[in-house]
A and B are shown apart, each in its own frame.
Chain A
Amino acid sequence: MATMRASSLDFSRRSLWTQLGALPWGLILMICAMAMIGVAILHSATFTNPEEAGLPMRQATRFGVALGVLLVAGLVPIRWWFWAAWPSYLATLVLLVAVEFFGTTGGGAQRWLQIGPVAVQPSEFMKVTLTLALAAYYHKRWSDFSGGFMIHLPALALIALPAALIFRQPDFGTTLALFASGGILIFLAGLWWRVIMAIGVAAIASVPAIYFFVLQDYQRERVDTYVAQLTGQSVNVMDDGYQIEQAKIAIGSGGWTGKGYMEGTQSQLDYIPEQHTDFILTVLAEEFGFLVTSGVLILWMVILGLGLAIALRAASLFARFAAAGAVATVTFYILFNVAMVLGLVPVVGVPLPLLSYGGTVMITTAGCFGLVCAAHLGRNEPLNTGA
């Protein structure tokens, strides 16, 4: 293949150091800053409990690993990503099917697959590989065909297949994430407005059906609690409503400037379950107040904006879609988590990237931004598909 020779020449011409220097360092430094903020909040959220004393250090170590993943992924030439798109998607799909049969159960859901000594969660890989597959699909489609409604149906199938498998685990949060970021890509690929409208109407109409027939009992309970607290009814303080109510008290009592680092009464007295994982934002809001918390959200907007700018500058459709999809995935996490903590959407276990304690989302986030970096380095490559 001609492209193969060209690419290997290309690679030898530009040294690794040059490549490293050409990475979008502004973006990477902001990501590092965000992770450091995360470690500091984690310290405050956990220091009263000696058994959790090691968590901030472990989180910092994990970010070190994640940064390595980001840099390595970023240095991988964009055409390698392109070639790997379909095989990696199919491989992840096979793993998801394997989870169905051989997966191990953790926290009530069958999500993990034990391969030798390591436990992997294929649904996490799928967030990246689905983006790659959709990007590769539209790249090819738009090179030999000029749009139309029908080209989006295979894309929908690409999303629905893994989403259905993950929903069965059950993992509602990840299912939503796949549909959200995949949907954004279909939108970017030019789905007609009238179809978008129709889907919107259908979605609203199907809410009752989903509530009664698709959701499991515990998921339905969460939705009930959510509606109850939105409409101001008193909720059972012992259940899920307790968590939301305590989170709101923690956030609301923070005020403009917060109660001071490690001084949050709500956070330090263990009122809030999961406060070092999904509900980490409550600690930030209580101890640092509105100014810093909204500052952190704005920092996220800048990071995501820089990612999107990279997507827009890329020459190949693959790089554009891949980077945009990666940004969309992380954006979904942030928006959903913050909305959940602020009591605007039901509590679905979605962590806050780079701030919540946990290794899985850290690596997924690093993979996403690695892809963005790769798109940046390969922004001038046309990636012609042998036409």
Chain B
Amino acid sequence: MSAKRPIDGLFSRRALIAAGGGTAVFGGLIARLFQLQIMEHERFEVAAAENGVRLDLAPPQRGRILDRFGRPLAAHRQAGRVSIVREQANDLPGLMAELSKHLDISPERQARLISDARRQASFQPVTVKSELSYEDFSRLSVLAPSLPGVQVEMASTRSYPRGRDFAHVLGYVAKASETDLERLSEDTNAQERAAIRRLFKHPDMRTGRSGVERYAEDWLRGEAGFRKLETNAAGRIIREFDDPSLAPKSGRDLYLTVDAELQKFAIDRFGSESGAAVVLDIETGDILAFVSTPAFDPNDFVNGISSKDYAVLRDDVEYSPLYHKAYDGTYPPGSTFKMVVAAAALEAGVINPNERVYCPGHYRFGNNTWHCWKKRGHGSVNMHWAIKGSCDVYFYEIAKRLGIESLADMGRRFGFGQRWDLGLHGGRSGVMPDDAWKRAARGEPWYEGETLNIGIGQGQVSTSPLQLAVMSARIAAEGKIITPRIIGDGPRPDADIPFDKPLDPEIMQRMKAGMYGVTSEAGGTALRSGDLGLGGPRLAGKTGTSQVRRISAAERATGILKGENIDRRLRDHALFVAYAPHDDPKYAISVVVEHGEGGSKAAAPVARDIIAEALRIDARRSPTYLRTASTGSSTGSGAR
């Protein structure tokens, strides 16, 4: 040790003084603890347990989702719930046995509930059954006072009165998972995050997982409030104070542009087939029906779907009920694409509409042969005949003259290759291929031969049923820019529409004439579907077949396999696009029947019947949300 410095003694003295001071403060804190815990114990014990005025978090009522005429598509219903509270129960297994006399509870579930109740704090309720029938609810309500430990109460649950009809459009709500919570608390500070977590922990709180429910979460959710409750020593609620300043604020209602009746008709019309249909109001772009079938029942998800039931939906890859085929599904457009090719050719001036192309049933380019669907050939056809007879050779020829760039450019002006942001979660852009796309996606340049495939809507090009409906509407409106929408009154997405160059009305009139020919003139491919059964007006449309597999030369020689001779999964998709009435278009439609094989046989009759129904019920008449005075909310803020 070095020599003694004055500081050594000073430091020690001061350290002891500081230690004394610290000890005094510690002593003071322990004294304060004694004051609170021992001297004022009774007061606080009373405050904690007896006659407590409690503020319980009250979740807001989620806004409804309505169709264009105010019919509820997503609403709520009251459902009875029975739970047990260990603290109040004298004999838990006995109570469970008693309850199982009135409710169907498996012995495994009983054991599970008992162990849950024992693991939790004694005063916390454990839900036994959340969807009580009216009979069960009333019977248990009568019994509850004689069964200490049993709680019967009403709770509000999301319900989808139209079941499967709007599964993909609405999506569904579910209890917020950890992933949901992270998404919901994006861009929030610590305090907001804590509030969101606390709110979504509430047993009645749900969040949108897909569709409009997810997209419009902020619009629909509302704001949480509190219930001011007076409770007795056992925690039972004695009365509820009415305090409007604490009440939760319900979420806002949201109107869609769809017509629930037309939607139901369309789904029923599909029967057991899988497919998609989109009906548009040509004047406004309102989506009147947005069908993807088969579907699931969103009601099954609200209280959590069992993993077994979910697996059934998820693993059905052939009919894929979870998949929104009209928005997320993409298909080669087949011959429905021929109007795009023809329009591009006319605008580029590579062909005169009266020029004839000879179709011998096949087309040679380089060392390869391309086939027309009509083995014997169409003979010599001009553009009008080529459209109504769907001559492949004619379109090979003009596609070759056009080149892929002009073709793709026209496709994009019809809305292909871009995602329509409707305000639904999901939506695919499909592919409108060109040289740049192929270099980016495949790392290879575009080959001219591929242009021929695109000319008949096969190969790399892929489109969603929504895009096909928009194409059909833009033709029917003679080139007017039509933008689809499904949110009528609610948080609308920003309309961000690229490639909005209007189309030449004169060219569009020629396309319409061709589509009329398809359903109504000799040589048309869908003659049987032109009559709407309404007397005067007819349907104009175009058939299409979307190839699912490649046909080998050997198979072509022996005859292409069809129908019963081939596995369903390998059959072609049937497509049809149309508008009606032909002389004064009001509705545009696209229909895809998966593995339906022929557009004229499988898809066209479906499209005809749906559009006839739309005309019959006047689905496009002015929606409720425009008629009511309270449309001020339509200018409200959009959702994120």
Contact = CB atoms under 8 A, between A and B. Distances in A.
Interface stretch (A59-67, A82-90, A285-293): A285-293
Interface stretch (B121-129, B207-215, B469-477): B121-129
A184 interface: yes
A165 B48 CA distance: 43
Contact of B189 (A107, A187, A262, A321): A107
A266 interface: yes
A51 B120 contact: no
Given A146-B6, A290-B34, A344-B32, A252 B44 contact: yes
A311 interface: yes
Contact of B201 (A51, A237, A255, A262): A51
A263 B29 contact: no
A176 interface: no
Contacts of A189: 7, 11, 14
B268 interface: no
B29 A338 contact: yes
A360 interface: no
B37 interface: yes
Interface residues of A, number: 61
A238 B12 CA distance: 49
A259 B124 CA distance: 15
Interface string A191-221: 0000000000000000000000000000000
B1 A252 contact: no
Contacts of A273: 194
A107 B15 contact: no
Most buried by A among B48, B120, B189: B48
B334 to A, nearest CB: 50
B7 A190 contact: yes
Interface stretch (B16-24, B58-66, B143-151, B282-290): B16-24
B97 interface: no
B355 interface: no
A344 B31 CA distance: 12
27 contacts: A106-B190, A146-B5, A187-B14, A187-B18, A190-B7, A190-B11, A237-B55, A251-B33, A252-B45, A252-B48, A254-B37, A255-B37, A256-B37, A262-B121, A265-B49, A265-B123, A268-B123, A270-B198, A285-B37, A297-B30, A301-B26, A308-B19, A315-B2, A324-B15, A339-B32, A342-B29, A342-B36
Interface string A358-375: 000000000000000000
Contacts, number: 142
B18 A108 contact: no
Interface in B32-54: 32-34, 36-38, 40-41, 43-45, 47-49
A317 B23 contact: no
Interface in A112-148: 142, 146-147
Identify whether the interface residues of A are mostly helix, strand, loop, or mixed.
Answer: helix
Contacts of B312: none
B30 A188 contact: no
A7 interface: no
Nearest to B7: A142
Nearest to A273: B194
B33 A255 contact: no
A312 B6 contact: no
A311 B16 CA distance: 11
A297 B26 CA distance: 8
Contacts of A250: 48
B37 A48 contact: no
B41 A297 contact: no
A384 interface: yes
A188 B11 contact: yes
Interface string A275-305: 0000000000100011001100110110011
B178 interface: yes
Interface string A229-241: 0000000011000
Contact of A251 (B26, B44, B55, B189): B44
A248 interface: yes
Most buried by B among A252, A254, A285, A304: A252
B36 A317 contact: no
A344 B194 CA distance: 26
Given A108-B190, A252-B37, A304-B22, 17 more contacts: A48-B124, A51-B197, A107-B189, A107-B190, A108-B191, A147-B6, A147-B7, A188-B11, A188-B18, A190-B7, A251-B33, A253-B41, A254-B41, A255-B41, A265-B235, A300-B26, A339-B29
Contacts of A285: 33, 37
B47 A305 contact: no
B2 A384 contact: yes
Interface in A134-189: 142, 146-147, 184, 187-189
Contacts of A269: 123
Nearest to B34: A290
Contacts of B19: 305, 308
Given A253-B44, A342-B33, A184 B18 contact: yes
A250 B49 CA distance: 10
Identify whether the interface residues of B are mostly helix, strand, loop, or mixed.
Answer: helix
B247 to A, nearest CB: 14
Contacts of B198: 270
Interface of B: 1-2, 5-7, 10-12, 14-15, 18-19, 22-23, 25-26, 29-30, 32-34, 36-38, 40-41, 43-45, 47-49, 55, 120-124, 178, 181, 189-191, 194, 197-198, 201, 235
A104 B570 CA distance: 56
Given A263-B121, A301-B23, A294 B14 contact: no
Contacts of B15: 188, 308, 311-312, 324
B33 A253 contact: no
A217 B54 CA distance: 29
A254 B33 CA distance: 10
Contacts of B45: 252-253, 255
Nearest to A317: B7
Contact of B11 (A51, A293, A317, A328): A317
Nearest to A257: B37
Given A249-B47, A311-B15, A312-B15, A268 B121 contact: yes
A331 interface: yes
A189 B7 CA distance: 7
B619 to A, nearest CB: 45
Contacts of B30: 294, 297-298
A276 B10 CA distance: 42
Interface in A71-122: 106-108
Contact of B2 (A249, A254, A382): A382
Contacts of A300: 26
Given A285-B37, A294-B30, A248 B23 contact: no
A190 B5 CA distance: 13
B14 A190 contact: yes
A205 B15 CA distance: 27
A335 B26 contact: yes
A253 B311 CA distance: 50
A249 B41 CA distance: 9
Most buried by A among B22, B194, B201: B22
A343 to B, nearest CB: 8
A329 B419 CA distance: 59
A382 to B, nearest CB: 5
Nearest to B29: A338
B29 A290 contact: no
B205 to A, nearest CB: 13
A312 B12 contact: yes
A141 to B, nearest CB: 9
A67 to B, nearest CB: 25
Contacts of B22: 301, 304, 331, 335
